[in-house]
Amino acid sequence: MRKIRLRLLSYVVMLYMLMASGWWSYLLFSKNQMAFEAQSSMMVLQLGAEERANGKESPRYIDLLEKRAALEAKNERQEWMILGETMVFIGILFAGLYLIDRGYRKEVEATRQRRNFLLSISHELKSPIASIKLILQTFLKRNLSPEQINKFSSGALKETERLEKLVTDLLLSAKLEEAFEPHLEDLDLLELTNSLITDLRLKYPTAHFSCEQNGTQFNIEADISGITSVLLNLLENAIKYCKTAPFIQVFLEEKEEYIELKIADNGMGIPEREKKQVFEKFYRVGNEDTRSTKGTGLGLYIVNKIIQAHRGTISIEDNVPEGTRFKIQLPIKVK
């Protein structure tokens, strides 16, 4: 509320300055005109008197004519100067207005992201802790069969893994903010993709995966754990942001100096204006109060940073007929 009031106040001040500058310019312009007209009519009188006394050829008459021409030129210059300075002033005012507006929008967006982050992080921290606590309390209070112990333990393990991923992502994103130096090794991108898909098929039995390739050689120079994290983030997002049965298509293509990797899904898609913002730290599409999917908005930030560290590119396109397609280009050799 305070920020809105400040913004309104700045608009009022700007408007006042705009009107004041318009008014003062007009005043200056008309005073200049009046002064010119007074001087000019004086000269006309002098010219008339000189013409009557000594004729048009007299040196004084010619001198007066020259002075009149100089006066007109000076008047024109002054008019342009007033106009130019008014325009510069108005230009500076509008630039200020634009900067205030941009700053305000950035502030609003940062506040929204901070709030979203706090809500999502507290949810992501609280819910696994609550589940693990409940499981441990059940272990203490009840005599459970070995099957039940097994079931509860694997539930607790999943929640612990979720917590671990959250902490790892937080630490990794903090590390990526500084210069991240990838530890480069030989990596077969096709082999890695296929092995991750095999693991994910077991973890998400309802998801359907397909992996196709065009080319024969998919070896690149890369940080293996970094690229694994990129692929896992993108593949798990493809599953997470899908309301129906997920159908994920991975396509690898060998190009001259790089490998192109596309991951397409049949999920809810990403609105055009948010395709760039999703790579920002903590950015999540929509509002934390109404969203049902879990997450922190760190995944794509990490993905983008890792790809950048490999001098690669990542972009988002709409998949046809629905969903999202991530396109990554990774150079074969990181120079």
Looking at the Cβ atoms of 299 and 312, the one nearer to ligand ADP is 299
Looking at the Cβ atoms of 229 and 233, the one nearer to ligand ADP is 233
Binding mask 313-332 for ligand ADP (x = CB under 6 A): -----------x--------
Residue span binding ligand ADP (CB under 6 A) among the ranges 50-58, 139-147, 189-197, 294-302 = 294-302
Looking at the Cβ atoms of 64 and 237, the one nearer to ligand ADP is 237
Kind and range of the H or E element at 188?
strand 185-188
Question: Under rule CB under 6 A, which residues in 194-253 are in contact with ligand ADP?
Answer: 233, 237-238, 241
Cα(333)–Cα(324) distance, integer angstroms: 28
The 10 Å Cβ neighbour count of residue 299 is: 23
Q: Looking at 166, 189, 264, 278, which residue binds ligand ADP (CB under 6 A)?
A: 278
Looking at the Cβ atoms of 131 and 237, the one nearer to ligand ADP is 237
Q: Does 268 bind ligand ADP (CB under 6 A)?
A: yes
Q: Looking at 265, 306, 314, 319, which residue binds ligand ADP (CB under 6 A)?
A: 265
Say if residue 321 is preceded by a cis peptide, omega within 30 of 0. Answer: yes
Cα end-to-end distance, the chain, whole Å = 51
Cα(35)–Cα(276) distance, integer angstroms: 59
Q: Looking at 284, 305, 314, 330, which residue binds ligand ADP (CB under 6 A)?
A: 284
Cα(285)–Cα(241) distance, integer angstroms: 11
Cα(78)–Cα(29) distance, integer angstroms: 9
Say how many residues touch ligand ADP, by CB under 6 A.
Answer: 21
Strand 313-318 to strand 247-254: parallel, antiparallel, or no bridges (unpaired)? unpaired
Q: Looking at 295, 305, 306, 310, which residue binds ligand ADP (CB under 6 A)?
A: 295
Cα(290)–Cα(154) distance, integer angstroms: 29
- Half-sphere exposure in the Cβ direction for 88 (13 Å, CA): 6
Q: Which residues pair with 253 in a beta bridge?
A: 214, 260
Looking at the Cβ atoms of 259 and 278, the one nearer to ligand ADP is 278
Radius of gyration of the chain (CA): 36
Residue span binding ligand ADP (CB under 6 A) among the ranges 134-142, 155-163, 220-228, 295-303 = 295-303
Return phi, psi of residue 266, to 5°. Answer: -110, 30
Looking at the Cβ atoms of 312 and 323, the one nearer to ligand ADP is 323
Looking at the Cβ atoms of 58 and 287, the one nearer to ligand ADP is 287
Binding residues for ligand ADP (CB under 6 A)? 233, 237-238, 241, 265, 267-270, 278, 283-285, 295-301, 324
